[in-house]
Protein backbone atom coordinates (compact mmCIF):
# COMPACT_ATOMS: atom_id res chain seq x y z
CA UNK A 1 0.00 0.00 0.00
CA UNK A 2 1.43 3.38 -0.92
CA UNK A 3 2.06 5.82 1.92
CA UNK A 4 -0.64 8.17 0.63
CA UNK A 5 -3.34 5.54 0.57
CA UNK A 6 -2.63 4.59 4.17
CA UNK A 7 -2.53 8.23 5.31
CA UNK A 8 -5.74 9.17 3.51
CA UNK A 9 -7.49 6.07 4.87
CA UNK A 10 -6.50 7.03 8.40
CA UNK A 11 -7.62 10.62 7.90
CA UNK A 12 -11.07 9.52 6.74
CA UNK A 13 -11.33 6.89 9.47
CA UNK A 14 -10.49 9.52 12.12
CA UNK A 15 -13.01 11.92 10.58
CA UNK A 16 -15.73 9.27 10.94
CA UNK A 17 -14.66 8.20 14.45
CA UNK A 18 -14.47 11.69 15.86
CA UNK A 19 -17.25 13.24 13.73
CA UNK A 20 -14.88 15.89 12.40
CA UNK A 21 -15.20 17.08 8.80
CA UNK A 22 -12.11 17.02 6.57
CA UNK A 23 -11.35 18.87 3.32
CA UNK A 24 -11.83 17.05 0.02
CA UNK A 25 -8.80 15.06 -1.13
CA UNK A 26 -6.41 17.48 -2.82
CA UNK A 27 -4.39 15.08 -4.98
CA UNK A 28 -5.94 13.61 -8.12
CA UNK A 29 -7.02 10.00 -7.54
CA UNK A 30 -8.00 7.19 -9.85
CA UNK A 31 -11.17 5.24 -9.08
CA UNK A 32 -9.18 2.10 -8.26
CA UNK A 33 -7.07 4.10 -5.79
CA UNK A 34 -10.23 5.52 -4.21
CA UNK A 35 -11.51 1.97 -3.63
CA UNK A 36 -8.10 1.06 -2.17
CA UNK A 37 -8.44 3.93 0.32
CA UNK A 38 -11.95 2.69 1.16
CA UNK A 39 -10.62 -0.83 1.75
CA UNK A 40 -7.72 0.45 3.86
CA UNK A 41 -9.99 2.62 6.01
CA UNK A 42 -12.33 -0.34 6.53
CA UNK A 43 -9.35 -2.48 7.55
CA UNK A 44 -8.80 0.00 10.38
CA UNK A 45 -12.38 -0.62 11.53
CA UNK A 46 -11.99 -4.39 11.23
CA UNK A 47 -8.82 -4.07 13.30
CA UNK A 48 -10.97 -2.53 16.05
CA UNK A 49 -13.31 -5.53 15.97
CA UNK A 50 -16.00 -4.43 13.51
CA UNK A 51 -17.36 -7.09 11.19
CA UNK A 52 -18.34 -6.81 7.51
CA UNK A 53 -22.09 -7.46 7.11
CA UNK A 54 -22.69 -6.39 3.53
CA UNK A 55 -22.58 -3.72 0.88
CA UNK A 56 -24.44 -0.54 0.02
CA UNK A 57 -25.03 0.76 -3.47
CA UNK A 58 -24.89 4.47 -4.24
CA UNK A 59 -26.30 6.66 -7.02
CA UNK A 60 -28.77 4.10 -8.33
CA UNK A 61 -31.53 6.70 -8.67
CA UNK A 62 -31.70 9.95 -10.62
CA UNK A 63 -32.87 11.80 -7.50
CA UNK A 64 -29.59 10.94 -5.75
CA UNK A 65 -27.40 11.64 -8.79
CA UNK A 66 -29.00 15.05 -9.24
CA UNK A 67 -28.81 15.93 -5.54
CA UNK A 68 -25.09 15.12 -5.29
CA UNK A 69 -23.94 15.88 -8.85
CA UNK A 70 -22.45 12.40 -9.29
CA UNK A 71 -23.70 10.04 -11.96
CA UNK A 72 -21.72 6.80 -11.66
CA UNK A 73 -22.85 3.89 -9.51
CA UNK A 74 -20.61 3.26 -6.52
CA UNK A 75 -20.55 0.91 -3.54
CA UNK A 76 -19.45 0.94 0.07
CA UNK A 77 -18.93 -1.58 2.86
CA UNK A 78 -21.41 -2.08 5.74
CA UNK A 79 -20.33 -3.26 9.20
CA UNK A 80 -22.19 -4.57 12.23
CA UNK A 81 -21.44 -1.33 14.11
CA UNK A 82 -23.44 0.63 11.52
CA UNK A 83 -26.66 -1.29 12.22
CA UNK A 84 -29.30 0.53 14.25
CA UNK A 85 -32.22 -1.59 15.37
CA UNK A 86 -35.64 -0.80 13.96
CA UNK A 87 -37.33 1.63 16.38
CA UNK A 88 -33.98 2.51 17.96
CA UNK A 89 -32.21 5.84 18.14
CA UNK A 90 -29.02 7.57 17.05
CA UNK A 91 -27.07 10.35 18.77
CA UNK A 92 -26.55 13.28 16.44
CA UNK A 93 -23.18 14.14 17.99
CA UNK A 94 -21.65 10.97 16.55
CA UNK A 95 -22.17 12.33 13.02
CA UNK A 96 -20.82 15.27 11.03
CA UNK A 97 -24.00 16.24 9.11
CA UNK A 98 -26.21 13.16 8.81
CA UNK A 99 -28.93 12.70 6.20
CA UNK A 100 -31.44 9.91 5.73
CA UNK A 101 -32.81 8.25 2.62
CA UNK A 102 -35.34 5.46 1.89
CA UNK A 103 -33.90 2.22 0.56
CA UNK A 104 -34.66 -1.46 -0.04
CA UNK A 105 -32.52 -4.14 1.67
CA UNK A 106 -31.77 -7.63 0.36
CA UNK A 107 -30.65 -10.51 2.58
CA UNK A 108 -28.67 -13.21 0.77
CA UNK A 109 -28.94 -16.95 1.30
CA UNK A 110 -26.10 -17.81 -1.10
CA UNK A 111 -22.90 -16.16 -2.36
CA UNK A 112 -23.30 -13.62 -5.16
CA UNK A 113 -20.42 -12.31 -7.25
CA UNK A 114 -19.55 -11.24 -10.77
CA UNK A 115 -21.76 -10.95 -13.81
CA UNK A 116 -25.18 -12.41 -13.01
CA UNK A 117 -28.64 -12.13 -14.52
CA UNK A 118 -31.55 -10.69 -12.55
CA UNK A 119 -32.92 -14.22 -12.19
CA UNK A 120 -29.62 -15.52 -10.80
CA UNK A 121 -29.45 -12.57 -8.40
CA UNK A 122 -33.00 -13.21 -7.22
CA UNK A 123 -32.27 -16.87 -6.59
CA UNK A 124 -29.56 -15.85 -4.09
CA UNK A 125 -32.05 -13.69 -2.13
CA UNK A 126 -33.44 -14.92 1.17
CA UNK A 127 -35.62 -11.92 2.06
CA UNK A 128 -36.30 -8.25 1.28
CA UNK A 129 -37.04 -5.37 3.63
CA UNK A 130 -37.74 -1.65 3.75
CA UNK A 131 -34.67 0.20 5.02
CA UNK A 132 -33.43 3.65 5.97
CA UNK A 133 -29.85 4.60 5.31
CA UNK A 134 -28.22 7.33 7.40
CA UNK A 135 -25.45 8.75 5.24
CA UNK A 136 -22.80 11.11 6.57
CA UNK A 137 -20.12 12.49 4.33
CA UNK A 138 -16.92 13.14 6.20
CA UNK A 139 -16.15 16.03 3.81
CA UNK A 140 -16.88 19.64 4.65
CA UNK A 141 -20.29 20.86 3.45
CA UNK A 142 -21.22 17.35 2.22
CA UNK A 143 -19.35 18.19 -1.02
CA UNK A 144 -17.28 15.62 -2.88
CA UNK A 145 -16.12 14.24 -6.23
CA UNK A 146 -16.77 10.67 -7.31
CA UNK A 147 -13.37 9.50 -6.08
CA UNK A 148 -13.68 11.47 -2.81
CA UNK A 149 -16.95 9.78 -1.91
CA UNK A 150 -15.70 6.30 -2.83
CA UNK A 151 -12.62 6.79 -0.61
CA UNK A 152 -15.02 7.86 2.19
CA UNK A 153 -16.78 4.46 2.04
CA UNK A 154 -19.54 6.04 -0.05
CA UNK A 155 -20.78 8.07 2.96
CA UNK A 156 -21.85 4.87 4.79
CA UNK A 157 -22.67 5.66 8.35
CA UNK A 158 -25.67 3.80 9.80
CA UNK A 159 -28.70 1.92 8.60
CA UNK A 160 -32.01 0.56 9.86
CA UNK A 161 -33.63 -2.52 8.35
CA UNK A 162 -37.38 -3.12 8.78
CA UNK A 163 -39.28 -6.41 8.73
CA UNK A 164 -37.97 -9.10 6.38
CA UNK A 165 -40.45 -10.18 3.69
CA UNK A 166 -40.40 -13.19 1.41
CA UNK A 167 -37.83 -13.06 -1.39
CA UNK A 168 -40.55 -13.45 -4.02
CA UNK A 169 -42.30 -10.21 -2.98
CA UNK A 170 -42.62 -8.20 -6.19
CA UNK A 171 -40.47 -5.07 -5.74
CA UNK A 172 -41.68 -3.40 -8.90
CA UNK A 173 -42.99 0.16 -8.39
CA UNK A 174 -43.82 0.04 -4.67
CA UNK A 175 -44.91 3.41 -3.30
CA UNK A 176 -43.04 4.82 -0.30
CA UNK A 177 -43.29 7.74 2.11
CA UNK A 178 -40.47 8.89 4.37
CA UNK A 179 -41.78 11.10 7.20
CA UNK A 180 -40.30 13.17 10.06
CA UNK A 181 -42.60 13.26 13.08
CA UNK A 182 -45.47 12.18 10.87
CA UNK A 183 -44.86 14.91 8.29
CA UNK A 184 -43.93 13.55 4.84
CA UNK A 185 -40.42 14.52 3.74
CA UNK A 186 -40.18 12.51 0.57
CA UNK A 187 -42.48 10.43 -1.60
CA UNK A 188 -41.22 7.94 -4.10
CA UNK A 189 -41.27 4.51 -5.62
CA UNK A 190 -38.93 1.55 -5.71
CA UNK A 191 -39.01 2.02 -9.50
CA UNK A 192 -36.73 5.03 -8.96
CA UNK A 193 -33.94 2.53 -8.17
CA UNK A 194 -32.69 1.68 -11.67
CA UNK A 195 -36.28 0.93 -12.74
CA UNK A 196 -36.35 -2.05 -10.33
CA UNK A 197 -34.26 -2.67 -7.17
CA UNK A 198 -33.20 -6.09 -8.45
CA UNK A 199 -31.08 -4.28 -11.06
CA UNK A 200 -29.17 -2.71 -8.19
CA UNK A 201 -28.49 -6.18 -6.78
CA UNK A 202 -27.14 -7.27 -10.17
CA UNK A 203 -24.86 -4.20 -10.17
CA UNK A 204 -23.83 -4.96 -6.58
CA UNK A 205 -22.67 -8.44 -7.61
CA UNK A 206 -20.55 -6.91 -10.35
CA UNK A 207 -19.01 -4.19 -8.17
CA UNK A 208 -18.42 -6.63 -5.31
CA UNK A 209 -16.39 -8.88 -7.61
CA UNK A 210 -14.51 -5.95 -9.10
CA UNK A 211 -13.53 -4.56 -5.69
CA UNK A 212 -13.13 -7.91 -3.92
CA UNK A 213 -15.94 -7.42 -1.41
CA UNK A 214 -17.30 -10.82 -0.34
CA UNK A 215 -21.09 -11.28 -0.59
CA UNK A 216 -22.21 -14.46 1.12
CA UNK A 217 -25.23 -16.07 2.75
CA UNK A 218 -26.26 -13.61 5.46
CA UNK A 219 -24.90 -10.52 3.66
CA UNK A 220 -27.14 -7.45 3.49
CA UNK A 221 -27.24 -5.28 0.38
CA UNK A 222 -28.76 -1.79 0.38
CA UNK A 223 -30.04 -0.98 -3.09
CA UNK A 224 -29.56 2.81 -2.93
CA UNK A 225 -31.72 5.79 -2.05
CA UNK A 226 -35.02 6.03 -3.94
CA UNK A 227 -35.36 9.76 -3.23
CA UNK A 228 -33.01 12.61 -2.37
CA UNK A 229 -31.66 12.42 1.19
CA UNK A 230 -33.08 14.65 3.95
CA UNK A 231 -30.96 16.34 6.66
CA UNK A 232 -31.47 15.06 10.22
CA UNK A 233 -31.80 17.13 13.35
CA UNK A 234 -32.37 16.24 17.01
CA UNK A 235 -35.96 15.42 17.93
CA UNK A 236 -36.78 13.91 14.54
CA UNK A 237 -38.63 10.62 14.59
CA UNK A 238 -38.09 9.19 11.13
CA UNK A 239 -40.40 6.61 9.59
CA UNK A 240 -40.47 4.88 6.25
CA UNK A 241 -43.65 3.28 5.01
CA UNK A 242 -43.26 1.09 1.96
CA UNK A 243 -46.11 -0.53 0.07
CA UNK A 244 -46.18 -4.34 0.63
CA UNK A 245 -42.90 -4.34 2.60
CA UNK A 246 -44.00 -2.53 5.77
CA UNK A 247 -42.45 0.17 7.91
CA UNK A 248 -39.33 0.97 9.87
CA UNK A 249 -38.01 3.94 11.78
CA UNK A 250 -35.67 5.49 14.31
CA UNK A 251 -35.31 8.61 16.45
CA UNK A 252 -32.61 11.25 16.51
CA UNK A 253 -31.33 12.29 19.94
CA UNK A 254 -29.23 15.24 20.98
Residue ranges binding ligand OOG (CB under 6 A): 56, 58-59, 64, 68, 101, 133, 135, 137, 149, 154-155, 224-225
Distance (Å) of CA 192 to CA 103, 120, 173, 188, 235? 10, 22, 8, 7, 29
Residue (86 or 133) nearer to ligand OOG, CB: 133
Residue (197 or 225) nearer to Mg ion, CB: 225
Contact of residue 241 among Mg ion, ligand OOG, none (CB under 5-8 Å per partner type):
none
Closest to 75 measured CA to CA, from 60, 102, 57:
57
Could you list the residues that contact Mg ion (CB under 5 A)?
A: 133, 225
Query: Residue 43 CB, nearest distance to Mg ion (Å)?
Result: 22
Q: Which helix (H) or strand (E) holds 130?
A: strand 125-135
Distance (Å) of CA 65 to CA 68, 134, 147, 230, 242? 5, 17, 14, 14, 22
Residue (121 or 131) nearer to ligand OOG, CB: 131
Could you report how far apart the first and last alpha carbons of the chain are, in Å? Answer: 39
Strands (E), 60-124: 74-79, 83-84, 89-91, 99-108
Residue (13 or 101) nearer to ligand OOG, CB: 101
The neighbouring-strand residues paired with 21 are none
Query: Residue 212 CB, nearest distance to Mg ion (Å)?
Result: 21
- Tell me which residue has its CB nearest to Mg ion: 133
Query: Residue 176 CB, nearest distance to ligand OOG (Å)?
Result: 14
Contact of residue 149 among Mg ion, ligand OOG, none (CB under 5-8 Å per partner type):
ligand OOG
Query: Residue 3 CB, nearest distance to ligand OOG (Å)?
Result: 27
Contact of residue 41 among Mg ion, ligand OOG, none (CB under 5-8 Å per partner type):
none
Cα–Cα distance, 173 to 161 (Å, whole number):
19
Residue (5 or 55) nearer to Mg ion, CB: 55
Cα–Cα distance, 114 to 12 (Å, whole number):
28
Q: At what angle do helices 31-47 and 3-17 cross, to 10 degrees?
A: 60
CB 75 within 8 A of CB 200: no
Residue (78 or 236) nearer to ligand OOG, CB: 78
Query: Residue 60 CB, nearest distance to ligand OOG (Å)?
Result: 6
Contact of residue 130 among Mg ion, ligand OOG, none (CB under 5-8 Å per partner type):
none
Cα–Cα distance, 38 to 76 (Å, whole number):
8
Query: Residue 75 CB, nearest distance to ligand OOG (Å)?
Result: 9
Amino acid sequence: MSRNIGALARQLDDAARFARAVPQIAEPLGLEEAYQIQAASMDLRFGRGERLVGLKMGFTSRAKMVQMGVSDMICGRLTDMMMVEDGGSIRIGRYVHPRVEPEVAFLLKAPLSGPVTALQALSAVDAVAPALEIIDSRYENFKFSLTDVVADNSSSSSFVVGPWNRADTDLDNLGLIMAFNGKPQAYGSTAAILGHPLRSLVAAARLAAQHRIPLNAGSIILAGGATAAAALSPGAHVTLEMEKLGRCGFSVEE
